[in-house]
Chain A
């Protein structure tokens, strides 16, 4: 069926979206290169103000867009494959860890949400801990998970996935609680009038009502799980993922900034692809009238 378009909003057909995306991309490139261009003309100093331009527009900190692209295509080392291939392998490796963590975190988060909605006592008892878990910085949690994981003799990648799951479960749990409580009072009364069992109520009223909320959470979590995986790779000392590549290029930033930008670009693309996957799943599950946020 045709989705009703909101008045005052332009349509979001795939073509329009593509054009809009490219237009913004072109604008960002123009801003970046424009800043560098002005920097060259003004010799790195704002006219009239006489203040130095920060960040410095020189190639040392802001490489040309084409240099970043060139860095992607060029071999990472002498006689090696192009950097983009190395980064692609690293991105896929990291995304795989993120995906496992995301799935585990989503299931755990959903489970916590259901338990909290079923039992006010459980919510009162455990919610403070759930919230507290998210106030601990991930860089503090990651080394602990790695150390414990080694003691338990878990494979390395599972520790990274656990860290990704740690970031994933929270938004899913909170939004599941909110979503399961979202049916209006009369809908609840309606199910009361049918003498519906708790299971029928959950599966036929609460979960379908919660899906738009859960998908919104999954999109947040998809992005967070990629960050979690990248950060988790660092204390794990993994050489295969994006985390290591980012760390390595960070160290050589002063000598060659374009490589770090190239790696940042790849992790962004990986994250977008992941969130996009969730958005596709949402599209297949929910009609447009029930979607909360369109990505």
Chain B
């Protein structure tokens, strides 16, 4: 079986008034179905740019990229991925349920089916009681759960997440990580997760991809061999701390070299 994300010699440059910026250089990345891959690196390393290339929200300057075995544009049009951002980006004028229904509505799913699916998704993120609330009545963590439910609406094989827990407090963040792992296991979806938190990357991922900046490139790929399912014990295990150190040093190495 092929890779769900396959990037070969991918580059992205932005040209502006202040010259050309090499956002990504020579990216080779293959992600297998069912993996949970974190992209971690300093600001400006191009991790969000890489995520946007996979989502066809940006076009690569050169290189080959396939998503779910297709051209990224085709994959986007086919709804092969769901996406969540640091800001939940819920529509204020829609209730929680109608926010979750949005992608299904745009895809022309009939109202009855849409509603059933939305209720199912809200149950999955434990927000059934808030289906008729409006976004501003929810806490930041709850809003982010709605955003995740929305991203999973069409049962996409791929979930793209751009620092989705970056704006949450530490307690909520850990609870959300736990919840995301459960959803990942239950749905079998592949996750590409952008973060700048080392513990978050290690706890969640099956593989951590370490990037450096100027130009943005992949420097290390670290396989996280913590047993599944992971919970509090995983966070407190010696292996977890070893992996934290490994990722931290991989990040440091580059800084020293620069």
- Excluding A189-B57, A195-B77, 17 further A-B contacts by CB distance (< 8 Å) are A1-B133, A184-B87, A186-B89, A191-B106, A192-B56, A192-B76, A194-B102, A194-B103, A194-B107, A195-B76, A195-B79, A196-B106, A204-B91, A208-B93, A286-B93, A289-B134, A290-B93
Complex: how many Å from CA A115 to CA B40? 42
Min C-beta distance of A184 to chain B, whole Å: 7
Complex: how many Å from CA A192 to CA B52? 11
Asked if A204 and B79 make an inter-chain contact with CB atoms under 8 angstroms apart, the answer reads no
**Chain B residues with CB below 8 A from A187, complex form:** 89, 91
In the complex, which of the residues B85, B102, B134 contacts A204, with contact meaning CB atoms closer than 8 Å?
Answer: B102
Lowest 7 CB-CB distances: which A-B pairs, in order? A186-B85, A186-B89, A195-B77, A194-B106, A193-B83, A208-B93, A194-B103
Interface residues of B in 89-103 (CB under 8 A from A): 89, 91-93, 102-103
Complex: how many Å from CA A239 to CA B75? 68
**Chain A residues with CB below 8 A from B83, complex form:** 189-190, 193
Given contacts A1-B134, A186-B85, A287-B134, contact A193 B76 (CB under 8 A): yes
Complex: how many Å from CA A192 to CA B72? 13
Asked if B92 and A200 make an inter-chain contact with CB atoms under 8 angstroms apart, the answer reads no
Complex: how many Å from CA A189 to CA B56? 10
Asked if B87 and A208 make an inter-chain contact with CB atoms under 8 angstroms apart, the answer reads no
Does B136 reach chain A (CB closer than 8 Å)?
yes
Asked if B106 and A290 make an inter-chain contact with CB atoms under 8 angstroms apart, the answer reads no
Min C-beta distance of A271 to chain B, whole Å: 30
Does A265 reach chain B (CB closer than 8 Å)?
no
Complex: how many Å from CA A286 to CA B136? 14
Does B81 reach chain A (CB closer than 8 Å)?
yes
**Chain A residues with CB below 8 A from B82, complex form:** 193
In the complex, which of the residues A193, A208, A286, A290 contacts B57, with contact meaning CB atoms closer than 8 Å?
Answer: A193
Does A205 reach chain B (CB closer than 8 Å)?
yes
Name the residue in A186, A194, A200 with the highest tally of chain B Cβ atoms < 10 Å from its Cβ: A194
A-B CB contact pairs (8 Å), 14 listed: A1-B133, A4-B136, A186-B87, A189-B52, A189-B85, A190-B83, A190-B89, A192-B57, A193-B82, A194-B79, A194-B103, A194-B107, A200-B106, A289-B92
Q: Which residues of A contact B (CB under 8 A)?
A: 1, 4, 184, 186-187, 189-196, 200, 204-205, 208, 211, 286-287, 289-290
Does B137 reach chain A (CB closer than 8 Å)?
yes
Does B46 reach chain A (CB closer than 8 Å)?
no
The A-B contact count (CB < 8 A) is: 55
Q: Nearest chain-B residue to A287 (Cβ)?
A: B134
Does B60 reach chain A (CB closer than 8 Å)?
no
Asked if B87 and A204 make an inter-chain contact with CB atoms under 8 angstroms apart, the answer reads no
**Chain A residues with CB below 8 A from B133, complex form:** 1
Complex: how many Å from CA A166 to CA B89? 37
Complex: how many Å from CA A187 to CA B133? 20
Q: Nearest chain-B residue to A197 (Cβ)?
A: B106
Q: Nearest chain-A residue to B52 (Cβ)?
A: A189
Complex: how many Å from CA A232 to CA B65? 64
Does B55 reach chain A (CB closer than 8 Å)?
yes
Complex: how many Å from CA A205 to CA B85? 17
Name the residue in A192, A211, A287 with the highest tally of chain B Cβ atoms < 10 Å from its Cβ: A192
**Chain B residues with CB below 8 A from A189, complex form:** 52, 57, 83, 85
In the complex, which of the residues B81, B91, B134, B136 contacts A193, with contact meaning CB atoms closer than 8 Å?
Answer: B81
Asked if A204 and B106 make an inter-chain contact with CB atoms under 8 angstroms apart, the answer reads yes
Interface residues of B in 60-79 (CB under 8 A from A): 76-77, 79
**Chain B residues with CB below 8 A from A186, complex form:** 85-87, 89
Complex: how many Å from CA A169 to CA B55? 40
Q: Nearest chain-B residue to A289 (Cβ)?
A: B136
**Chain A residues with CB below 8 A from B55, complex form:** 193
**Chain B residues with CB below 8 A from A184, complex form:** 87, 89
